[in-house]
Amino acid sequence: MLQTIKDIIDILSAPTVSFTFLTVAFPFVFPPTDWFEKIHRKFGIWRLWTKPGFYGGMFAITFFFVVGYFDPNFHVTLTKADNFPIILMIYSMFITIWWSMYQAYLNDERLENGLKPNEYNDPDDKVLVWPDLVYIEFIALILFMVFLIVWSILVAAPLEEPANPAATPNPSKAPWYFLGLQEMLVYFDPWIAGIVFPMFIIIGMMAIPYMDINKKGDGYYSFKERRIGMFIFMYGWLVLWLFLIVIGTFFRGPNWNFFGPFEYWDAHKVVPLNNVNLSEYIWVKTLGTGLPANILIREGIGFLVLVAYMGILPILLAKSWLKNYFQEIGPVRYTFIMLFGLSMLALPIKMYMRWLFNLKYIIAIPEWFFNI
């Protein structure tokens, strides 16, 4: 029985399955439009953001870890001292997101009934920082310090063998908070996954307040008033960042191969790699002519795809589906939203092209280190 559950979890956690599940389920959990909202209500998904939903979620996470703790294979990764922060991360992210959504739904209801949000207080009825805030800060600080001391006494800081440049561990992993980026390396070359995407993440995050011109929902929890913004951010944060960290930590073993949490990390696991570039698909497989010698001709279609995706698609959208939106926010904001939005979307797109067509690069110019 338990073994069956473990086998099922192993299969479900393969990125192809789990990532697809999360992506498909996402708009129903954080509904960005009325239609999704309807289904969200109809099938009771909204109950996730009620108290029973909280207990259910906490139970599921705990169940996963408890079973994992007693599993000989998962035990190894789970009890690594450096992985404890990820367990904390999973719990704290669930608790805080649940709390925010729970409060948001309460507030949404109040706003619909013409009431002010829960956080609202009479501006003249303020409290004194001494003692009301100072004491809370003081208590929070003491409790947190106690927690940190207990953690430090119980878990020794890891120290492995002395550094040896000749012996590469397999897998070599970056610190856990960068594992999302390392996971992206499966799908993109380092210059994108390690440089361009991180820069876009930083600049894109800084640009959020300038791109999101929705004035509502400032200073209180809410969902409905800003559901599209919430949806996009939460997808990036939860699925493309945190979930990739979880994959990178728990599900990636030797040679960065996928292993289910309850699977043994077999260093000799062989995964057939027959990834093909777009240019090879076109010139070799379709036209049967062999790759042209001229690089630009060889990769011409790839460049066309890139220009169509990053350049033409936004223009078409601005003229059709997003017409009103474009008019509302103007060309500058629109350009940046598209730049960051489409770059973010490029990650799942590339993942699926890899999984479905074994596509390696859309543009492959290893001569210039220019692979996309």
Write the binding mask 326 to 365 for another protein: x where contact by CB under 8 A, - elsewhere. ---------------------------------------x
Q: Which of residues 257-286 bind another protein (CB under 8 A)?
A: none
Selected binder of another protein within 62, 152, 255, 327 (CB under 8 A): 152
H or E stretch covering 234: helix 227-234
- Contacts (CB under 8 A) with another protein, residues 77-96: 82, 84-85, 88-89, 92-93, 96
Is position 71 an interface residue for another protein (rule: CB under 8 A)? no
Query: 113-117 — which CB contacts under 8 Å span 24+ positions?
Result: 117/220, 117/221, 117/222
CB of 202 to another protein, least distance (A): 6
**What is the SS3 assignment for 75?**
helix
Contacting another protein (CB under 8 A), which of 52, 72, 114, 175? 175
Residue type (1 letter), 317? L
**CB nearer another protein, residue 102 or residue 309:** 102
125 is a site residue for another protein (CB under 8 A): yes
Q: How many residues bind another protein (CB under 8 A)?
A: 94
Closest C-alpha to 104, from 117, 90, 93: 117
Can you tell me which residue has the tokens 């990532």? Answer: 19
Question: Of the candidates 8, 208, 312, 315, which one interacts with another protein according to CB under 8 A?
Answer: 208
Residues, the chain, total? 372
Shortest reach from residue 319's CB to another protein, in Å: 29
Minimum gap (Å) between residue 196 Cβ and another protein: 7
C-alpha dist (Å) from residue 174 to 79, 169, 178, 251, 367: 18, 12, 6, 14, 28
Interaction of residue 255 with another protein, rule CB under 8 A: no
| Peptide bond before residue 171 is cis, with ω within 30 degrees of 0 | yes
Query: If binding is defined by CB under 8 A, does position 149 make contact with another protein?
Result: yes
Per CB under 8 A, the list member of 28, 54, 64, 220 interacting with another protein is: 220
Nearest CA-CA partner of 317 in 332, 301, 338, 333: 338
